[in-house]
Amino acid sequence: MGLNRTVTGLTHYDIQQRRRRKIVEDARLSQRAIVRKEDVELVETPRGVRTGCYIGTDGDRPSRLIDAYVHEVDPGVVSTIHRHSWDAVMLIVEGHGWTEVNGVRYEYKPWDSVYVPAWAWHRQGNDGNKTARFMTFGTEPQASVCGSAFIEDAGKTPFAELPAPPISSPGPMGADAYARRLRRLDEHWNAYRNGRIHVAYEDLTLLVNPKGTRSTFMLDEFLGSKTSGLTLAMNQMAPSKWQKKHRHGGEAWLYALEGRGHSVVDDVRYDWKEGDLVVVDHWAWHQHFNSDPELTARLIRVHTGASLYDAMRAVLDPINLEEEEHGSEPDVSTVIWPPDRRPE
């Protein structure tokens, strides 16, 4: 039997270079600096909730690492139950509701966060009298790049009747590499699936940081969550104040949870208001400003700093992947921070 041959006039080097150029060109064409709330259309979905896409391939705004969606759950609605091979986090914007994660119900209020681990069955519900609205940030683009993105919808099936998530076999005692790998992965997945799911805003404390803002983690290993890399932080800017100018090797997204202001990204100004999403590309100099002389502004910073970015740090060392412009931070030593005005 003869061999199948691919005849081409291009060397492997030429093919490789074309492929790499296309990846970069496609990424540049799809890059967005800001997505405004009014540009995101919410539509009814088969899950029973309304959904709109800020950033994501299925919303014609592709990304390589994270996606961003907004969802609304009306009073009396219970969504279908589904699971996926990537993790995600919910940021509650308005209303009260609940999320069921692997059979456990978590009640939420505005400014709470709910973490959804990979392969966790989850559904949404609203027993109140007001529509609940929340953002989700997930790592499906990252999983797709690695060829490991799967989603499964089980309709209204009760959780007790659903298949369990995939497991990693427990490892036997022994010093050989295979036994050690089994034990390591078993321990990792047990810790991952037993990490913190719900973070209530009232459990957090905002502290002034060297960048000139008050901030706190909303999702992070520091709070007990075991994510694949997703991390959320709230940055509160005092009236007419700003954040220190800086840049970093990984992209960062800033969701305007409260207030109005503007961001300067590589010397280009982008005005934003509540509900907009600012997208800062990798290694872009950026700085965020509160344009209101009386009210605070809150930006929720989202990135995957604990996974791919940490790998980049190790692989690219000694290249510096973070840089700050010293002296660009505001003096907030005399600021009297207004009390939180958390929505009810």
pLDDT at 6: 61
Kindly report, residue by residue over 158-183, the tens digit of the pLDDT: 999 999 999 999 988 899 999 999 99
* Between residues 75 and 24, the one the model is more confident about: 75
pLDDT at 24: 80
State the pairing for strand pair 231-237/260-265. unpaired
- The arithmetic mean of pLDDT across residues 239-249, rounded, is 94
Residue 1 has pLDDT above 60, yes or no: no
Fold that domain 34-167 belongs to in CATH: Jelly Rolls (2.60.120)
What residue has token string 């966060």? 113
CA distance 88 to 69: 11
CA distance 215 to 207: 5
Residue 344 has pLDDT above 90, yes or no: no
Residue 228 has pLDDT above 70, yes or no: yes
Q: How confident is the model at residue 269 (pLDDT cuts 50, 70, 90)?
A: very high
pTM here is 0.91
Counted residue by residue, the chain has a size of: 344
pLDDT at 11: 85
- The arithmetic mean of pLDDT across residues 13-23, rounded, is 86
- The arithmetic mean of pLDDT across residues 253-267, rounded, is 97
Q: Across the beta sheet with 88-94, what order do the strands follow? A: 43-44, 50-55, 67-73, 132-138, 88-94, 113-116, 198-199
- The arithmetic mean of pLDDT across residues 76-102, rounded, is 97
Residue 225 has pLDDT above 60, yes or no: yes
What are the b/e assignments for 31-43, b being 16+ CB within 10 Å? eeebbebeebeee
Contacting residues for 96 by C-beta, under 8 A, at least 6 apart: 107, 108, 109, 126, 128, 130, 132
Q: How confident is the model at residue 340 (pLDDT cuts 50, 70, 90)?
A: confident
CA distance 229 to 117: 11
- The arithmetic mean of pLDDT across residues 208-226, rounded, is 95
Kindly report, residue by residue over 115-154, the tens digit of the pLDDT: 999 999 999 999 999 999 999 999 999 899 889 999 999 9
Kindly state the percentage of the chain with pLDDT values over 70: 96
Q: Which two tokens stand for residue 221?
A: 């290993």
| Cα distances (angstroms) measured from residue 23 to each of 16, 17, 155 | 11, 10, 36
pLDDT at 135: 98
Q: CATH 2.60.120.10 region(s) of the chain?
A: 34-167, 198-324
pLDDT at 3: 62
pLDDT at 22: 86
- The arithmetic mean of pLDDT across residues 77-104, rounded, is 97
pLDDT at 100: 98
* Between residues 269 and 337, the one the model is more confident about: 269
CA distance 125 to 334: 44
Which of 215, 307, 235, 311 is closest to 278 using CA atoms?
235
Kindly report, residue by residue over 37-57, the tens digit of the pLDDT: 999 999 999 999 999 999 999
Residue 88 has pLDDT above 70, yes or no: yes
Q: How confident is the model at residue 307 (pLDDT cuts 50, 70, 90)?
A: low
pLDDT at 2: 55
Q: How confident is the model at residue 5 (pLDDT cuts 50, 70, 90)?
A: low
CA distance 223 to 234: 14
> Could you give the angle at the alpha carbon of 313 between the alpha carbons of 21 and 17, nearest 5°?
15
Q: How confident is the model at residue 10 (pLDDT cuts 50, 70, 90)?
A: confident
CA distance 278 to 109: 24
pLDDT at 62: 87
Which of 272, 214, 283 is closest to 37 using CA atoms?
272
* Three-state secondary-structure class, residue 308: helix
Please, what is the average pLDDT of the chain? 92
Domain 198-324 belongs in CATH node 3.40.50.360: no
**120 close to 158: Cβ distance less than 8 angstroms:** no
What residue has token string 């007419």? 240
pLDDT at 146: 85
Residue 78 has pLDDT above 90, yes or no: yes
Q: How confident is the model at residue 273 (pLDDT cuts 50, 70, 90)?
A: very high
